[in-house]
Structure 1
Amino acid sequence: MNTMDENTMDKQSSPKSSLFDGWNAPPNLVTYSRIVLVVFFLTLDILAGAWGENNLTMRWVAAVLFIIAASTDKIDGWMARKYNQVTEMGKLMDPIADKLLTCGAMIVCSAFGELGWWVTILFLIREIGITVMRFFVMERPGGKVIAAAWPGKLKTVFQCVGLSMLLLPFWSLGNGQATPFWMTAYYFLTYAIIYVALVLCLYSGAVYLYNTFVAPKRK
């Protein structure tokens, strides 16, 4: 048996990497806990009502939970890279956790009239489309989970910052008086950040499509 035959047998006998390999790695456990936080956040946000008018305290708590859940995104990624625990499950679940958090928040905000439905719908089309594409790529021979690229990561940062600002009920600090200038500027900046996130959302979606279907054919 020559060397080529031995190498061929080694490749055939070596087990194929599974999506569930390393599912219980510490970075993945952080991701799972973030998904649990999403459930608590959405529950409190809905019960608090539009702009927190039903229960202002509940709205503050919901906003803080959103910020905590969004911040832990960097923790699991940092842990995975530092301790060499990057897994296919992590690359799949991390962006899904982000989408559950941000898209869930946007749907509730739109239902309460705090954010235009057209913004949320465009985000949903992109996010659902990219998620379906990830599963499609995984099912192909030799397919692997597509990791988030920098435009998508930047989109997530702007989206989380904008939604955090929108969720924090700073309107309550006006004490029922005429809207102060700082509050007008605050919400103008809030929506501007969300719109920047929308532009990055659409751009990063186009980058994913190009890297998946166009770039491989050019090689």
Structure 2
Amino acid sequence: MQEHAESETGRERRRLLEGWNSPPNLVTYTRILLVLVFIALDLMAGPWGERRPGMRWTAAVLFILAASTDKLDGWLARRYNQVTELGKLMDPIADKLLICSALIVASVFGELWWWVTVLFLVRELGITLLRVLVINKQGRVIAASQAGKYKTLFECIGLGMLMMPLSTVWPWYLVATRVVILVALALCLYSGAEYVMGMRR
């Protein structure tokens, strides 16, 4: 019985690693590298990009590029029938690295309220742990819900707007940016509750 359970676990792990070097997964790895470069540039640019405005604009472009390629790896996976368990796991992790790093740096710089960032982080870390538990116990990956996808969209739009140092030019710009981020937060909490209720069922 124990040997059977171990062989099942081994098969599930092999299945998780299948297609690790497929083009959609390579796009996901590239997005993770872009996140690291984005963080470095954002930190060097300083709050609102006042220290090095050029770096802040470059960081904003990289953020938007990394966020927009989220759809590229998903499209490639579906178009060429290369959807993998690893891809379903790594894709939301790449999203979370991008979003969470942008949120933390923005709050450290005083560009965004810490309570907003903390709520985002608690939800994201909680759902990530939930995904890992499901993989370990059931050998499957929880796919993103529709509300979760909308949450990611609004997060990327709001943080992309925040990254662009335009609030000093247009006073209303920061207000509009924060409204978009608060909509993303509402979707974040709603989709998180959806995941938890789905697991209970």
Same fold (TM over 0.5): yes
Post-superposition offset of 1:86:
0.6
User: Structure 2, unaligned stretches of length 5 or more?
Assistant: 1-7
Question: 1 CA distance for matches of 2:72 and 2:197?
Answer: 29
Please, what is the CA RMSD of the aligned residues?
1.2
Match of 1:159 among 151, 155, 171: 155
What is the letter of the counterpart of residue 180 of structure 2?
A: I
What is the letter of the counterpart of residue 98 of structure 1?
A: D
Do the aligned partners of 2:60 and 2:160 also contact (CA within 8 Å) in 1?
Answer: yes
Post-superposition offset of 1:171:
3.5
Report which stretch shifted further, 194-203 or 183-192. 183-192
Q: What's the counterpart of residue 185 of structure 2?
A: 198
Question: 2 CA distance for matches of 1:171 and 1:92?
Answer: 36
1:53 maps to 2:50: yes
Question: 2 CA distance for matches of 1:70 and 1:100?
Answer: 11
Number of aligned positions between the proteins: 191
Q: Secondary structure at the match of 1:54?
A: coil
Runs ≥4 residues deviating over 6 A: none
1:32 maps to 2:29: yes
1:77-116 alignment, distance < 5 Å: 77-116=74-113
1:184 maps to 2:171: yes
User: Structure 1, unaligned stretches of length 5 or more?
Assistant: 1-11, 175-182, 215-219
Q: What's the counterpart of residue 145 of structure 1?
A: 141
Percent identity between the two aligned chains: 60
Question: 1 CA distance for matches of 2:78 and 2:198?
Answer: 23
What is the letter of the counterpart of residue 194 of structure 1?
A: I
Which protein is richer in helix relative to its size?
2
Do the aligned partners of 2:28 and 2:73 also contact (CA within 8 Å) in 1?
Answer: yes
What is the letter of the counterpart of residue 33 of structure 1?
A: T
What is the letter of the counterpart of residue 155 of structure 1?
A: K
TM-score normalized by structure 1?
0.85
Q: Deviations over 1:93-143 (max 9, x none)?
A: 000000000100000000000000000000000000000000000111x43
